[in-house]
Chains A and B, each alone.
Chain A
Amino acid sequence: MTGMLDMDFIDFMDFSTLTHVVPPLATTLAALPALPIAGINWHSVLFLLFAGLACGFAIGVVAADNVVRMALYLVFSLGATAGLFFLAGAEFLGAMQLMIYVGGTLVLLVFGVMLTAQAPLVSIKPSSSDRTLTAVAGASLLSLLLTAAFSVDAWRGPGVGVVPAPSATPLGMALVGVRVDEPPAGTPVGGRVGYMLPFEIVSVHLLVVLVGAAYLARAKRRRTPRPIDALASAMPVEPVSTAATVAPTGRSAGGARSALVGGGR
């Protein structure tokens, strides 16, 4: 196979340089349908490339002990997944995956890795019994999933393969509650819904998460976390006398807790 590819590459160079020999060579090449390379399907080749990358790096994430390496492999795996989305005709989703997942979430993750990457924490090795157990569980799960995937005949046939230009417009319209896409064959016409409400819920959810994450990250600077501080900052302004009575108990509680944590270390 490799040799064939190489030879072909030489022919290929000839094509681009010597125009007058192209037609005979081309007819020779076209007359070789028996060669597997002659009917090569770039869609499949690219799929194999991206699928291999995605699977390989996903296994790399599991196999690696260094957390920075894990993060890098995860980036490559998810990037290759975006390529798979493009190949399946979901262009908007692929770009979304690149932008939000790879460009946003994973940068955040890498950021967290770098904040916590002190020498003893970079690679925390699991015990070998854990490894064995995981291998067993993983193999069983994989076999289960693959058996399920291969058991349905309708999923096994090759696809149409030709990808016409998709459009992001129906997706956007669906998100604001109007369906303009062609209904898939066999769907009842009235059964399709827009996604206005989920869209709004997700946006509010994101806002809440934004505020929550900012709040969690803001409180991290104290060396000994005192529950009273969080309480006091969450409470509305109250008369001075109440705060004064609450504060000492809170401080003592905080002191006890920090001693506990210190002992735990």
Chain B
Amino acid sequence: MVEFLIGLGLPGWVAWSIAALVAAVLLLNVIAGGALVFIWAERKIAARIQDRLGPTRTGGRFGWLQSLADGIKLLAKEDLMPEGADGLLFRLAPYVSFCASFCAFIALPFAFDVVGQRLNVGVFFVVAVLGLEVFGVILAGYASASKWSLFGAMREAAQVVSYEVPLGMCVVVPVMLAGTMDLVTIGEKQAGWMSSWFLFHDPFTFIIFWVYVTCAVASVNRAPFDLAEAESELVAGFHTEYSGLRWSFFFMAEYGSMFLVSGLAAVLFLGGWNGPVPVARLLGFSDGTGESAAYVVRLLGLANLMGKATLGVLFMMWIRWTLPRLRIDQVMTTCLKYCTPIAAVMFAGAMFWQLFLPGGLFPGWGRPAGEIREGWLEGPGGLPAAASPAEDRSSTVTGGEPFERTGLATRSPR
């Protein structure tokens, strides 16, 4: 895209800012549009599980305009702030939450090289930024000047800090298998048939995937771990005092991070943008066959990843409306007594599997021939090779501008 704009005769900095804006707007649309769809889906699923119909009238037969109507209602609502609240923090909290959720999307790839900013430490960045969302909740809880909110915030703080430990351990396993923290490379390593997904790499990865699911549900505060907003005990927890647009920002942040952890699960364990069957490759498309073919492949990958992430979100909804809420001590027990040790053992197991039986449980028939490796392995004498993929990546543009890696830059065919 940047090359295209520069080719039009635009100076580099305009091209870069347009590319960055397009990426930002696209991501914002993914979050906002996703929240609309998911809220509708949540209402329908909850209704079906509870043997009801859910919204049926707004916007036709299935009530699919219900969340839009909700949004208009929220916009029109009076904006209340309790007396004795800390005004600045109270107003700031929803935006902190939303920004953290949004920023984490920057490094999440949606298809091969369709990523806001390809980071060498992508996994790490996503998990780290996701952990910042807790600040919005804590601030909201403190600034509301309400006991319920403060309780919710304290629970959230304790829970999120605890669950980051097993979550980190789960995330490290695919990183270890792929040999890099770059999410694009991790996804690309699982190309081929379904058997080359990291989920089916060995028994340990299969188990640790479910640990990841548990920790991810806990870290985005969904039931059965939604202690921060336990409505049967704490009215509405940290957002008791919120109304209108600010409340909806919390909601968007929640659905955004749900989609994010599902997308991360898809990239790390479920093959990313590679479908169960390599349709594109069987049909003869590949990155090398030309520009339009590459776009088709990427669109397919986009659909794949979106589908997987949506499935993950629906799974979370299913869990929410099926399981009862845990108590706070049970939440902590789940984390410290079960998730952490299981994750540690599985991590060690995956490590030994990789050491003694490299290559996975199923023979990866359909794995791409040339593996993507980090440059340092191939260089002579332990020194990095001269033309490592990392440098190859950055040399697609020679505009002399500092941010040569920004944007949804199309990659030159390898």
Q: Which residues of A contact B (CB under 8 A)?
A: 12, 15-16, 19, 22-23, 26-27, 29-30, 38-43, 66, 68-69, 72, 75, 79, 91-92, 94-96, 98-99, 102-104, 107-108, 110-111, 114-115, 117, 161-170, 173, 178, 180-182
Contact with A along B367-381 (1 / 0, CB 8 A): 000000011100100
Interface membership of B14, Cβ < 8 A: yes
Can you list 17 A-B pairs, Cβ within 8 angstroms, ordered by A? A15-B10, A23-B8, A29-B10, A30-B11, A68-B142, A72-B92, A72-B139, A91-B119, A96-B124, A99-B127, A107-B134, A108-B161, A114-B142, A162-B404, A166-B390, A167-B376, A167-B388
Interchain CB contact (< 8 A) of B135 among A75, A161, A163: A75
Contact across chains for A15 and B18 when beta carbons are under 8 A apart: yes
Interface membership of B85, Cβ < 8 A: no
In the bound complex, residues from chain A placing their C-beta under 8 Å from that of B194 are none
In the bound complex, residues from chain B placing their C-beta under 8 Å from that of A41 are 13, 402
Interchain CB contact (< 8 A) of B160 among A66, A69, A107, A170: A107
Give the residue among A38, A95, A163 with the most B Cβ atoms within 10 A: A95
B356 CB to closest chain A CB (Å) equals 20
B406 CB to closest chain A CB (Å) equals 8
A152 CB to closest chain B CB (Å) equals 24
In the bound complex, residues from chain B placing their C-beta under 8 Å from that of A178 are 382
In the bound complex, residues from chain A placing their C-beta under 8 Å from that of B142 are 68, 114, 117
Query: Which stretch of B30-38, B149-157, B248-256, B300-308 is in the interface?
Result: B149-157
Known: A107-B157, A111-B157. A165 touches B128 (CB 8 A): no
Q: 3 tightest A-B contacts by CB?
A: A99-B128, A103-B131, A43-B402
Contact across chains for B154 and A42 when beta carbons are under 8 A apart: no
Known: A111-B158, A161-B402, A181-B384. A27 touches B129 (CB 8 A): no
Interface membership of B164, Cβ < 8 A: yes
Contact across chains for A27 and B9 when beta carbons are under 8 A apart: yes
Known: A23-B8, A26-B8, A91-B119. A111 touches B18 (CB 8 A): no
Q: Which residues of B contact A (CB under 8 A)?
A: 8-11, 13-14, 16-18, 86, 88-89, 92, 119-121, 124-125, 127-129, 131-132, 134-135, 138-139, 142, 150, 153-154, 157-158, 160-161, 164, 180-181, 374-376, 379, 382-384, 388, 390-391, 393-394, 400-405
- Whose C-beta in chain A lies nearest to the C-beta of B404? A162
Contact across chains for A95 and B9 when beta carbons are under 8 A apart: no
Contact across chains for B16 and A42 when beta carbons are under 8 A apart: yes
In the bound complex, residues from chain B placing their C-beta under 8 Å from that of A12 are 14, 17-18
In the bound complex, residues from chain A placing their C-beta under 8 Å from that of B394 are 164-165
Contact across chains for A114 and B86 when beta carbons are under 8 A apart: no
Q: Beyond A26-B8, A39-B13, A170-B376: 11 further Cβ-contacts under 8 Å?
A: A43-B403, A69-B89, A94-B121, A95-B124, A99-B164, A102-B128, A107-B157, A114-B153, A164-B390, A167-B374, A168-B120
Known: A12-B17, A69-B89, A173-B376. A29 touches B11 (CB 8 A): yes
B289 CB to closest chain A CB (Å) equals 26
Contact across chains for B138 and A107 when beta carbons are under 8 A apart: yes
In the bound complex, residues from chain A placing their C-beta under 8 Å from that of B121 are 91-92, 94-95, 168
Contact across chains for A104 and B164 when beta carbons are under 8 A apart: yes
Contact across chains for B132 and A164 when beta carbons are under 8 A apart: no
Bound-state CA distance A110–B18 (Å) is 38
Contact across chains for A16 and B120 when beta carbons are under 8 A apart: no
Known: A72-B89, A110-B157, A117-B142. A103 touches B11 (CB 8 A): no
Bound-state CA distance A79–B405 (Å) is 22
Bound-state CA distance A173–B379 (Å) is 14
In the bound complex, residues from chain B placing their C-beta under 8 Å from that of A163 are 402-404
- Whose C-beta in chain A lies nearest to the C-beta of B20? A42
Bound-state CA distance A261–B384 (Å) is 64
Contact across chains for A68 and B89 when beta carbons are under 8 A apart: yes
Contact across chains for A99 and B131 when beta carbons are under 8 A apart: yes
A33 CB to closest chain B CB (Å) equals 10
Contact across chains for A79 and B8 when beta carbons are under 8 A apart: no
